[in-house]
Chains A and B, each alone.
Chain A
Amino acid sequence: MTDPRLVTLGFSCAYIAYVALVRDRRGAPPARAIEAAIPTGIELTVAHAGTIKTYRFGRRILVGRAPSADLRLDDPRVSRLHARIEIRDDGVYVEDLGSRNGTTVDGIAVAEPRRLAVDDEVAVGSAALVFRGVGAWR
């Protein structure tokens, strides 16, 4: 029998060679196969502090009083991070983030994430957010 050290050395080199040579040969990950227009954003009409304006947001909106919120509402009844409106696989959902005064959709309190229909009115503090629909824009 040869020197046992040669055997283990050979195996070690084989392991390293195996690890180094066997690569993931799959190319770039495939794009999501969706032929229809991909909704990239949510349109909301915001009625707050005497003004009514329509905004186009991204796929996910954080509503709150914090400066880092996507939709900032300067209102003491609104929590810092109050609610979240986002596009999911099967529609647009509103979710309350444990706010102090709660979130309602057409007068009904949002306990579980709730799917929005077009023209539903989400009330956050004294502000009213009307969901206008989704669209593809940048």
Chain B
Amino acid sequence: MKKSTHNTSIEPSKLARRFLHWYCKASLLEEIEGDINESFYERIEIMGIKKARLFYTLEVISFFRPFAIRGQNLKYHNNTAMLRNYFKVSFRNILTDKLHTSINIIGLTIALICSIVIYMVVRHEITYDTFHTNADRIFRITHDESELNPNSNRHLSTVGPPVGPAIKAFYPQVENSVRFRYTPTQIMARGKERFYEENIFYVDSTIFNVFSYKLALGNPKTALKEPGSVILTHEMALKYFGDENPLNQTIFMNNDTELLVTGVLEPIPSNTHFKFDFLLPFHAFKVPFGYPVTLDDWGWISFHTYVMLSHDIDPKVLEAELPNFIDAHWPNEQRRFKFRLQPLTDIYFGEVKNDIIASGNRVYVYGLAVTGLLIILLAAFNFTNLSTAKSITRAKESGIRKTLGARKPSLFFQFLLEAIVMALFALFLAILVSPYLFKILRNFIGFDFQLDPSRYPALILPFFLITLIIGLMAGSYPALVMSNFNPVSVLKGNFKSSITGLGLRKVLVTLQFTMSLALILGSLIISSQIQFIQNKDLGFNRKETVLLQMPGAELDRHYETLKNQLLSNPDVLAVSVGGGRMDGDNGNVPILPEGFEDPFPMAIDAVRHGFYAALDIPMAAGREFSKQFPSDSAEAVIINQSAARTFGWEDEEAIGKRIRVDDIREGYVIGVTKDYHFSSLHQPIVPLVTTYPRTRLRDIYLKVKIDQPAALISSLQQDWNTIVPDIPFDLIFLDDHLQGLYKADLKFAKLINLFAILAILIACLGIYGLISLIAQHRVKELGIRKVLGASMQSLILTLSKPFLWLMIIALLIAVPVTYSYMDQWLSNFAYRIDFQILHIVLAGLGIFLLIGATLFLQSFKYSRANPINALRNE
């Protein structure tokens, strides 16, 4: 599309360049930058752009030396000299104790990387749809029956087609309105390239006045004017036209409708709740075949409608007036439902769900944020613990500084500074590493965004602050301890390897255990719930069912021949046609059974002969649609057991009852199916009413032998090509399709599992470092014990025992806290696992073994040491 995107990539890294400009003396900048540029462009030829950029960055960093850095005339102040000394001493300290320094830095780095990732995910989630300039005054009109209709609790995200224009005409406060109408999968074709496309919408041309979508090509005022025009998203333009200019070219929809491309959208941020690929003018929309409705029908509730209010209009006031609007246009329905105004930015996390609309879950976002916080705390506690434990070795330094005239605040400042510098170094490492982590996550979790360098500036400020806080938090206690030493006793050597900060250390270690336990327990519960979902018996054969999709008109034409062809394939056991895909995407219509006066709004579906047999759905009573009863297609109705119970019927009793399905069918019940899950396990099974299809369906259901999927697919494709070679072959495994219902859940589960592992790693690192420090201080004691005949086991026990108690306390805290949070998460599912003692045992055992192994490893080393080495060293 835009050629310029290619040119930008041979520029050096912007961040590095900015860094150079920031630190470099103005007098030297030109020559230095010129030279670096020159080497950069030469390197591109030799080693390619990627490496050359890396070398550019390295070169910029290598120029960060005194001669090139600006503003160093402070060099000769006394304060700076002191500061330099602080840095020098901390640097030496860091070098002398590499183990603990690296534990601290690695821990902090991992924690910061995790929190960068979590921060990006959370920010992505909570900024859904905020990119629209008018987001604060755009509202979706929803159709809410839950309050006024006793037979219904549905709240729909759509309204009838006339509502959009009518509400704009009725209220001057409504500045504009826009309608979207979904259309089922269509085949889009350009030349020989043909694809099934799902996200095709008919939309009012006011879309560009209400939303902030921008056209990269084409004129927004005229793009949706002609009925035969289409606007493509950036991705679709690439898919169908590659590098060509798509404008004024044509593509075909379903072989019969020619569409002229009149616009191409600029890329849309991925955090938008409404995802579309093709936009067609609303006035080109025709009522689909077999629908008993017109575009003036207020009861055809399937149009997503958004309004933009004038500035300073209170949506609550307007919402309260909406019954008047209903009265004026739709008087007979006035007491049945309410129109509501749902703010655009609330839709993503909103209650009103719909399959076309991406929806998020606040529990996940909070869960991630809490995990991030826990991980940062874990790393900070490590730092505090290790530094406090280590302070004893630095007591002499503090004593001498004090004797030489250092005051307490300056000592405090010195040690705090050390902590902050270390934390900042960890931040530096984290920022270097995280882009790679993002790449891994992309493959691992299917992240739909990446961390490109242009986002760095936005990241750096919050994370600089966070790091500063970590440094302050982790460093202030050790700093306090170290600046408080009494110089006389320290220098006299009286100073015992005493109980400095022991109380606090115990508390922090217990908290660390608690957090790790909570994370393990949480991820165990999440994993088993996910497993439960994936293996739950849904009441039909999910594993051996595949779908072949086909545009409705073609399906009507070719179904019988294709069916016979497919049945001749030995791997195909049964063939039928179904409406829904078991994903809860069902229509909702009023159902009036015999003996009632008010209709019940219920989910509907449509299937052809032999559907229930093909999917192994058992009948509780009666039979399914059959060719032997020609009248079935006109008057037979099948309901599920939930529907029968709602009407107060037993299975057998229901057979033969009269029932009215909206205006579509007036007939009688011929069968009752056992309940099966026709929507995700987030929802309970609700009443379902099924008729023989009268509109066009698009999915052929096959029951197959699935031993060899690859061979199966190719043999089915052969069958397909003998009958309908001109229609693209698209096979969907029903089970795969159903997994899609839990995409958000799976993503969350994977993230939490990953972070739980990292958190435990940090905790183990901390314990490892801590016990080595403790052992070092107690080395004499251990030596004496050994000389006096203590066995190795008892020495290991001496070192580890204090930690074992803390672990038990942690278990007692972690279990109830985790359970109450996980209960909230599990309540997202209508079908969920129960709490199991097994989880507690596993989590407890897991952490016990991990920490135990760490403890054992370290204490083993010290208890095996030759006591002479410890004791002669006086």
**Do A and B truly interact?**
no
Residues of A within 8 A of B (CB): none
Residues of B within 8 A of A (CB): none
